[in-house]
Amino acid sequence: MLRRYPVGIPLSGDFDLVEADVAELNEGEVLVETHYLSMDPAPRLRMDGAAVFPPPLPLGQVVMGRGVGIVRGSRFAGLSTGDAVAGELGWQEYARVSGAQLRKVDPQAGPLQAALGVLGPSGITAHCLTNYAAKVQSGDTVVVSAAAGSVGSVAVQLARSLGARVVGVIGGAHQARFVREDLGADAVVDYRSSCLDADLADACPGGANVFLDSVGGALHNVVMACIADHARIVVFGYISAYNSAAASQREYGSIYQIIRRRATLCGFLISDYAPRFSEALTHLGAALAAGTLKSFEHCVQGLDNAPAAFAALFDGDPVGKQLVQVRPLKNSKQRVTP
Amino acid sequence: MLRRYPVGIPLSGDFDLVEADVAELNEGEVLVETHYLSMDPAPRLRMDGAAVFPPPLPLGQVVMGRGVGIVRGSRFAGLSTGDAVAGELGWQEYARVSGAQLRKVDPQAGPLQAALGVLGPSGITAHCLTNYAAKVQSGDTVVVSAAAGSVGSVAVQLARSLGARVVGVIGGAHQARFVREDLGADAVVDYRSSCLDADLADACPGGANVFLDSVGGALHNVVMACIADHARIVVFGYISAYNSAAASQREYGSIYQIIRRRATLCGFLISDYAPRFSEALTHLGAALAAGTLKSFEHCVQGLDNAPAAFAALFDGDPVGKQLVQVRPLKNSKQRVTP
């Protein structure tokens, strides 16, 4: 549960680990045994009492978080005990949730946790970014700002498959190796380099035609300095500011470059693409089956390690999808009222 | 001539008024007697020795500036003595220019100086902004940032004709009256108001669907705070920074609002629309003839007043197109070698 709103990077002490009975299911509800929780940066924005959009998470309540698990009891017509499901489960071992808000997962499509990553929100977001929002085409030079992250690691692969030259922005040797060797990026640049502008210019000889940015801040401006004419910039996050007070005040980019390059910069919320999610999943599933798309995950064991795994999104050097494996439970008495 | 690069708002002392003979025409050249010069903010960006794009104006040379005038001698096949022409004449009474770079003006289409304003670059820019870049539609709420300016005063009228609700950003009572009464804006807000955010919210009850911005800076951010979902922002200047050192470093807007509203922000250079200039002029000419579009000008007499008229773009409260009428000449010995 969220004990207090973190200041800066969240600490374990900002959270409480609480044990409680599971209440009886109401009509339409389902009891889900959580197997994996997805660790994502965006909920940090809601761990702020002054947040406006999205609104603050209430203190003393279970922390929001997407997960996958197995139905252990159901009073919802569309789901039965034993079904695999994904959705908003929260940071808890058992979740009592409305069945209508869960997505049934096909266990044949891949490992269960893929429903949180490459066959879930991260993959769908990467697919919509590259195909629908940025319309990446063969010959484009595409810069991906958090290339080793959950969305970035899929976006790099998809942009490569679309025939683009892909430049991944990374931090450190571990991420560099991952993005270059495992994801197949054409080049990587380290955002901590003392000559990042020159590194980027080398990596993008004709300028960047597409910039997929979830980082913002100083990095955004450096990449904006090397965009090509008529570049398309899609901003879908600004993680560089998620731990600052007044994150919503962050400015970005250079109006001069936007005009000089007649660039188009657009904001992206994945919810706008809901009508195309199933189409996206079909493409992603086929690519995964064909081996042209790979799933990369890093998994931490136990719900008690969730706060540290969450903080590592901001100050670690995560590669791929960051997960918490909730099962097998440690020190847990299963007191479930089915 | 430009004597030195201005610091801040240009002063008369930054310029020299020089008298010289006109050299003989080379093959392909035309001698133009300048009648009107257009005063525009953008050349200020080139009065900077450190400018990159566009490059600095050379010191000791005639200041760039668009003008209209009458051909007084021609060695260019397409133009004859007596023709009215518009183009890059520079701040001078007689210009020796390449005939191919001039546009022949139809004296029947309107007064000569309209070729610098509503039937010239200002009108064409406003037409391309509203119709092609922002695609203003009936029902849109359109905010125009420098509504009393040369482009803004046409854009307000065109957006109104397209059925939009138009909110003009102005400075002072003089501009307020002009934009509201002469241009027909639905509302005006004063950028110097101590409660500009509330004024804008009142003026745009459902948020702004379109924002045509040539100002940038603090004003840009305040307007960005009141955009509607899926707003279209077209940036075509950032006059608030034209007199600052390092104008090209100016940041803009809030990435948070761009994402939250899934807005699209694009840069605009009028040169990209060259293939549509004649189409734009046809529309503008028809609107002028029909009386649905009006031309508003403010004219200063004499070339020696050009520096002050130029400076007034930044620290005055200009309304409509700002012009310098070069003829009739004051204190001038006409020493022309035709």
- Please report, in tens digits, the pLDDT of each residue of chain B (338 residues total): 999 999 989 999 999 999 999 999 999 999 999 999 999 988 888 898 888 777 899 999 999 999 999 999 999 999 999 999 999 999 999 999 999 999 999 988 889 999 999 999 999 999 999 999 999 999 999 999 999 999 999 999 999 999 999 999 999 999 999 999 999 999 999 999 999 999 999 999 999 999 999 988 888 888 888 899 999 999 888 887 777 765 444 455 556 677 777 888 888 888 888 899 899 999 999 999 999 999 999 999 999 999 999 999 988 888 899 999 996 554 444 443 33
- Report the distance separating Cα A124 and Cα A93, nearest Å: 26
A244 touching chain B per CB within 8 A: no
**Residues of chain A with C-beta less than 8 angstroms from the C-beta of B255:** 216, 220, 235, 238, 250-253, 267
Name which of B259, B264, B268, B269 to mutate to probe chain A: the one with the most chain A Cβ atoms within 10 A of its Cβ: B259
CATH topology classification for B121-288 = Rossmann fold (3.40.50)
Q: Do B260 and A236 lie within an 8 Å CB cutoff?
A: no
Residues B253, B224 contacting (CB under 8 angstroms): yes
- Domain segments of chain A as ranges: 12-116+297-325, 121-288
- The larger pLDDT score, comparing residue A137 to residue B254, is at A137
Q: Which residue of A has its CA nearest to B242?
A: A256
Q: Which residue has the higher pLDDT, A271 or B250?
A: A271
Read off the amino acid at residue B233: I
- Provide the number of CB pairs (under 8 Å) joining chain A to chain B: 107
Q: Are B335 and B310 within 8 A, CB to CB?
A: no
**Alpha carbon distance B145, B220 (integer Å):** 8
Q: What pLDDT is recorded for position A232? A: 93
Higher pLDDT, A243 or B95: B95
Q: How far is CA B154 from CA A89, A192, B141, B159, B281, in A?
A: 55, 47, 16, 9, 13
Domains B12-117+295-325 and B121-288 share a fold: no
Question: Per the CB < 8 Å rule, is B269 touching A259?
Answer: yes
Instruction: Select the residue of A261, A263, A266 nearest B263 (Cβ to Cβ).
Output: A266
Min CA distance, B253 vs chain A (Å)? 6
Residues in B closer than 8 angstroms to A235, CB to CB, are 255, 258-259
Query: Chain A interface, mutation test: which of B211, B212, B258, most A Cβ atoms within 10 Å?
Result: B258
> Which CATH number describes the domain made up of A12-116+297-325?
3.90.180.10
pLDDT of residue A65: 93
The beta strands (E) that lie in chain B are given as: 29-38, 66-74, 84-88, 94-98, 103-104, 141-144, 165-170, 187-190, 208-213, 227-235, 251-254, 264-267, 297-301, 321-325
pLDDT of residue B254: 59
Q: Which of B132, B255, B261, B268 to mutate to test the interface with A (most CBs of A within 10 A)?
A: B255
Higher pLDDT, B111 or A338: B111
Separation in Å, CA of A58 to nearest CA in chain B: 21
| DSSP character at residue B126 | H
Which alpha helices (H) appear in chain A, and where do they start and end? 121-127, 150-161, 173-177, 196-203, 217-224, 255-260, 277-290, 306-315
pLDDT band at A329 (very low <50, low <70, confident <90, very high): low
Q: What is the pLDDT of residues A80-103, one digit of tens each?
A: 999 999 999 999 999 999 999 999
* Confidence at residue B217, expressed as pLDDT on a 0 to 100 scale: 81
Mean pLDDT of the region A217-224: 85
B236 closest CB neighbour out of A259, A267, A268: A259
Give the per-residue pLDDT at A254.
59
Instruction: Give the mean pLDDT of chain A.
Output: 89
Which superfamily does CATH assign the domain made up of B12-117+295-325 to? Medium-chain alcohol dehydrogenases, catalytic domain (3.90.180.10)
Q: Is 0.95 surpassed by the pTM of this model?
A: no
Assess: ipTM above 0.95.
no
Q: Does residue A114 register a pLDDT over 50?
A: yes
- Residue A290 to residues A158, A282, B325: CA-CA distances in angstroms? 13, 12, 72
